[in-house]
Amino acid sequence: MSTVSKDDAIAVADAILEKKGHDVVMLEISSVASYADYVLICSGRSIVQVKALVDAIQACLKQRHIHPLHIEGLAEARWVLLDYDELIIHVFLEEARYFYDLERLWSDVPRTAFEESPHGTSAEMHHDD
């Protein structure tokens, strides 16, 4: 089993932004959860985009020799969960993300929001501890 680092999670955020995913947020949950260190949440504007984001995430981590333990929700592509052990990734269709509001469940953990920089790479936009 591969260990997933914070750098791996940031690389995934970059891959998501390259595919025009939005509202990319990384939550550091290791202090409150035993099953993962990081949760990455992002949104796509269509089912096609959600599937493209999932493909980009898998390709990014495969290059790093990291493979998912489980993927759920890909057929419907409204909410896709990718379990990489220490990193849990949620890829939402916009309206599903607002409905489930997972960030509210983790409001007390450090979070980093990412946005695309003018140069096409990710930039940490906001970091709360």
pLDDT at 3: 82
| Boundaries of every domain in the chain | 6-115
pLDDT at 35: 93
Altogether, the residues listed in the chain come to a count of 129
How sure is the predictor about 123, in pLDDT bands with cuts at 50, 70 and 90?
low
Looking at the domain covering 6-115, what would its CATH class be?
alpha beta
Whether the CB-CB separation of 35 and 84 falls below 8 Å is answered with: no
pLDDT at 1: 45
pTM over 0.85: yes
Residue 125 has pLDDT above 60, yes or no: no
Whether the CB-CB separation of 41 and 90 falls below 8 Å is answered with: yes
